[in-house]
Structure 1
Amino acid sequence: MRKATYGRRFMWTEGGKIGLAPAAARLGDKICPLLGGQVLYVLRERGEGKWEFVGECYVHGLMDGEALGLGQEHKERVEKFILA
């Protein structure tokens, strides 16, 4: 358990889901899947359309592809992030 949680903090989403985020994660950071990625990621908005990569996270109930839901009906959910 210690190895799996080292450098992580307990978190919960606005939707009530629980998980583990990087220790550097803060209130207001965005949790999202990135195309081609295998896990969820934490991003922090830096202004002017730029985002900072904070790290990987685990959210219970969203780790088996549920977060992507990339059918045609979800096409509008795809966003572009500029990491800086």
Structure 2
Amino acid sequence: MSNIEQLVKGESLDDIVTVFALIKAPPYLDMMISRYKPETIRHGKLQLTYTRLFEKGVLEKGEMGLAKKGPNWKAPKFVTENKYG
């Protein structure tokens, strides 16, 4: 199992989007997450999560389709623990 597959299957959607929205545009996130959790796309969970994180101030609009850290951004536990390398 790849690190990405382990991450997508093992972490919350909020935590995944909190980190990867900073370095990948929404279409990439869509492909990456839907590959291992297709239900997130079918039921609109990914878009709802993305919108909620913007509303909470975790993410802000960045440049070139990427998000940037909002005033309420905190690194998820899997990042601070360097869980996936």
Alignment TM-score, normalising by the size of structure 1:
0.32
Q: Is the strand fraction higher in 1 or 2?
A: 1
User: With CA pairs under 8 Å and 6+ residues apart, which has the higher RCO, 1 or 2?
Assistant: 2
Q: Which has the larger radius of gyration?
A: 1
Larger helix share, 1 or 2: 2
**TM-score normalized with structure 2 length:** 0.31
